[in-house]
Structure 1
Amino acid sequence: MSKYTMFGQLKAQPGKRDELAKMMLESSETLQGMEGCIFYILNESVNEPDVLWIMELWESAEAHAASLKDEKVRAVIEQCKPLIAGVSAVPVRPIGGKGL
């Protein structure tokens, strides 16, 4: 399967998770129509008050890489940076299931 999945964790500055989530959700139209993006879902951690999780599914790793070079995406990243204390990502390879 050529699809590309990424699980990302954003740790917000203490007490800033809701502000970061709002900022990201308000700019989510940036991904509407983004070439190769199947889904991009923002989640808040139940157990960690400053953590957001992102689930992404792309047509390919190349489509994901290209999105990170998009001017609008870069602008959102820059806008959110002051609210972010840490970032980690786990690339995974989907092998099947509902929705693929």
Structure 2
Amino acid sequence: MAFGYIGSMRTKPGRRNEVVGILLNGTDGLRAAGCQAYVVGLSDSDEDVIWVSEVWDTKEQHHNSLQLAAAKAAIGRAMPMLTGEFTSQGMTVAGGVGL
């Protein structure tokens, strides 16, 4: 079964759109790295929170994707705009629409 990840991050006030742009700009190599789905969402109740949902072929591919040069560069650009408040949850994906 596939590996799923759901996480949230809090941006500094007024920086959410910039971080979303960084997250969505760096998606070109994800499919080749084993990503089946990558969704960036905006909290409806908090204007500084971003949710990211991902589905990967394996947990290892998710881990390895964070070592890609493009991912490291995107993280480096986004980190100064984040507060350091993160949530994360890994899971085994049983199935769903689009997978």
TM norm structure 2: 0.88
Unaligned stretches of 5+ residues in structure 1: none
Q: Select the structure that is richer in strand.
A: 2
Q: Alpha-carbon deviations, 1:23-79, whole Å to 9, x = none?
A: 222233343x43211111100011111000001000000110110111111111011
Q: Secondary structure at the match of 1:91?
A: strand
- 2:55 is aligned, of 54, 57, 71, to 57
- 1:76 is aligned, of 70, 74, 77, to 74
Residue type matched to 2:44 in 1? V
Q: Secondary structure at the match of 2:28?
A: helix
Displacement over 3 Å in runs of 4+? none
Q: CA deviation at 1:99?
A: 2.6
Once the two structures are overlaid, the 10-residue window that deviates more, 51-60 or 11-20, is 11-20
Q: Superposed, which structure 2 residues align to 1:1-100 within 5 Å?
A: 1=1, 3-31=2-30, 33-85=31-83, 86-100=85-99
Unaligned stretches of 5+ residues in structure 2: none
Q: CA deviation at 1:93?
A: 1.6
Q: Secondary structure at the match of 2:47?
A: coil
TM norm structure 1: 0.87
Mapped to 2, the partners of 1:26 and 1:95 lie a distance apart of 29
Number of matched residues? 98
Contact 1:11 1:52 in 2 (8 A): yes
Q: Secondary structure at the match of 2:75?
A: helix
Structure 1 46/26 Cα, relative in aligned 2: closer, same or farther at 3 Å? same
